[in-house]
Structure 1
Amino acid sequence: MKELHVKSLLPVRLDNYLMEQYPALNLGRLNKALRENKIKLNGKKQPLATRVQNGDVIRLFLNDDQLEKKPLPPAVFVYEDDDLIVANKPAGIEVDGPASDTLLKRVQATLSANGHSAQAVLCHRLDTGTSGLILLAKNKAAEHFLTEAIKARKIQKKYLCVTFGRPQPPVELMHDYLIKDAQRGVVKIVPSPCSGAKEVITGYETLAVSGRLALLEVELVTGRTHQIRAHLAHIGCPILGDSKYGNNTANRELHFKYQALCAWELRFPAQIEQPEFSHLAGRVFHAEKPWYCHQITDGTLR
């Protein structure tokens, strides 16, 4: 716990005062801390817009790691040229948002540290708990090319994942429909078209099995919210570590904090019409295989 005695000749907003004292704090962290009753002004919970003044006492129930501003870990670039970046996102960080540590912030910091412009734009997203390859554009032309290629399904995406349960048949191309519940932040798979449902196509191939678990290579044909996670859960084989659609008893037993899902491969089309991006034709990029893939293959994880 930190206790601050305000020294300010003029009233200042609580959030601004705290961010001035601790540069590592941002509005996202402050709002989270306030919701968790970890900020008290003169012994009471107060809105962040409250004006503090000389003599007020602020108590912060945060540890030093949350208050210290640490340098961001460098982003891992699988590929980089003058137009785009293929970055490898670790599980557990957001691609973007108010958090102090996101993939985009790591990429920008890495570019700056290398003496380059920090301009980079995300062209698609991954869930926080999913690791793997993300495409970022360095300029408007590359952003347009990549987003259009993804939208037209010209860039193929393959994933590796571990499921709790062995899917039957071992190889399948699944065609179903997805309904999004925005209020609850979840999606539901249904077998037939209905109001608000969008088609989802997910292919999988079983690469190895170990006890109750299976290692799959998954091809994302359509790209819907939580598609792979929900589609595999729908057939009774949820992804290990998935707290939203998975088996939480198994997740705890096997100590999985994040879903065992990695965006492993990005494949560019064999032919690209735009001359400035023709050097990418047929290129295939891979992330390093996560540790759990090897443990399924050798039978360590069961």
Structure 2
Amino acid sequence: MKELHVKSLLPVRLDKYLMEQFPALNLGRLNKALRENKIKLNGKKQPLSTRVQNGDIIRLFLRDDQLENRPLPLAVFVYEDDDMIVANKPAGIEVDGPSADTLLKRVQAKLASEGKATQAVLCHRLDTGTSGLILLAKNSRAEQFLTSAIKARSIEKRYLCVTFGRPQPPAALMHDYLLKDADRGIVKIVNSPAGGAKEVITGYETLAVSGRLALLEVELVTGRTHQIRAHLAHIGCPILGDSKYGNNAANRELHFKYQALCAWELRFPAQIEDEPFAHLAGRVFHAEKPWYCRQLTDGTLQ
């Protein structure tokens, strides 16, 4: 946390004052910080257009690396060829957007560091708090192939997660419907397609249990917004660390800032007729298993 005591003879906008103090900040980052309640003026959340004046106190609940022009971390590539990239996204960064640090910017920084002029394009997304594998295309041909394969569900996606609660039965293929609540920025699971709800299919298998917790491997059959998080919460087993659909008391107790959810596996179909991508047939890519998998398996986390 940074505390600033404003020293200005004339009133100045809050956003302008902060960008003068911290050149690494931009309007995108400031708006995001304000939405997340990380900027306080005299102890209160105020619009960025508010005029600050001599003697005001500003508190910024941002990390040092968010306030400084530090070199952007380079993305970790699990796989790369002339057409595509499989990158491993850490929890806590967006895949894309106005923030100075996103997965896409890390990918471009890595390509630039290797002297490659290619501009990568995202073919799907992960929530900010979810870690794991992301597919990116280096050209329009690969973008069309990958996005079509994802839409057709021929690329299988499997996740690892820790739930607060042990699902019963220990393994199942869940069929329900998902309804978006755009005003609240959430989704909910319902048992019929009424109101425009869309079909969701989520499979899970319990790999290990520890106290109140369970480690699951989840297959994302359909790919809806917040599907895994909402579907597991619907059966009474929310993902640990999920502040939107989960148990916040448990999240605080076990010190989970982001949801314990990792896009662990991408599996390409056994046969691919599109010749330029035939070499991907049967290929399976994995992210490194998150630390919480080991801790749950050995009983450290429970």
Q: TM-score, normalized by length of structure 1?
A: 0.87
Q: Structure 1's 167 and 116: CA in aligned 2 closer, same or farther, altered over 3 A?
A: same
CA distance in 2, matches of 1:239, 1:17: 39
Aligned to 2:249: 249
Is the CA contact 2:5–2:55 (under 8 Å) kept in the aligned structure 1?
Answer: no
CA distance in 1, matches of 2:25, 2:154: 41
* Cα deviation code 1:241-300 (max 9, x no counterpart): 111111111111111111100000000111111111111111000000001111111111
Aligned to 1:47: 49
CA distance in 1, matches of 2:250, 2:33: 30
SS at match of 1:195: helix
Structure 2 counterparts to residues 1-302 of structure 1, below 5 A: 1=4, 22-32=22-32, 47=49, 61-62=59-60, 65=64, 66-302=66-302
CA distance in 1, matches of 2:81, 2:277: 11
Is the CA contact 1:84–1:137 (under 8 Å) kept in the aligned structure 2?
Answer: yes
Q: Please report how far the alpha carbon of residue 170 of structure 1 lies from its aligned counterpart in structure 2 after TM superposition.
A: 0.7
SS at match of 1:30: helix
One-letter amino acid matched to 2:49? P
Q: Please report how far the alpha carbon of residue 172 of structure 1 lies from its aligned counterpart in structure 2 after TM superposition.
A: 0.3
Aligned length: 291
SS at match of 1:251: helix
CA distance in 1, matches of 2:224, 2:214: 23
Q: Structure 1's 45 and 230: CA in aligned 2 closer, same or farther, altered over 3 A?
A: closer
Q: Structure 1's 57 and 64: CA in aligned 2 closer, same or farther, altered over 3 A?
A: farther
CA distance in 2, matches of 1:2, 1:277: 58
Q: Structure 1's 82 and 246: CA in aligned 2 closer, same or farther, altered over 3 A?
A: same
* Cα deviation code 1:88-116 (max 9, x no counterpart): 00111111111111111111111111111
Is the CA contact 1:264–1:289 (under 8 Å) kept in the aligned structure 2?
Answer: yes
Q: Please report how far the alpha carbon of residue 193 of structure 1 lies from its aligned counterpart in structure 2 after TM superposition.
A: 2.4
Q: Structure 1's 204 and 2: CA in aligned 2 closer, same or farther, altered over 3 A?
A: same
One-letter amino acid matched to 1:228? I
Q: Please report how far the alpha carbon of residue 29 of structure 1 lies from its aligned counterpart in structure 2 after TM superposition.
A: 2.3
CA distance in 2, matches of 1:241, 1:33: 20
Is the CA contact 1:132–1:263 (under 8 Å) kept in the aligned structure 2?
Answer: yes
CA distance in 1, matches of 2:59, 2:248: 30
CA distance in 1, matches of 2:123, 2:268: 14
* Cα deviation code 1:158-200 (max 9, x no counterpart): 0000111111111100000110001101111012221211000
Q: Structure 1's 2 and 119: CA in aligned 2 closer, same or farther, altered over 3 A?
A: farther
Q: Structure 1's 21 and 160: CA in aligned 2 closer, same or farther, altered over 3 A?
A: same
* Cα deviation code 1:139-170 (max 9, x no counterpart): 11111111110000010000000111111111
CA distance in 2, matches of 1:143, 1:57: 53
Q: TM-score, normalized by length of structure 2?
A: 0.87
One-letter amino acid matched to 1:117? A
Q: What percent identity do the matched residue pairs reach?
A: 78
CA distance in 1, matches of 2:48, 2:264: 46
CA distance in 1, matches of 2:106, 2:56: 32
Is the CA contact 1:4–1:59 (under 8 Å) kept in the aligned structure 2?
Answer: no
Q: Structure 1's 236 and 39: CA in aligned 2 closer, same or farther, altered over 3 A?
A: closer
CA distance in 1, matches of 2:89, 2:81: 18
Q: Structure 1's 240 and 23: CA in aligned 2 closer, same or farther, altered over 3 A?
A: same
CA distance in 2, matches of 1:30, 1:298: 41
The alignment's C-alpha RMSD in Å is 2.8
SS at match of 2:195: coil
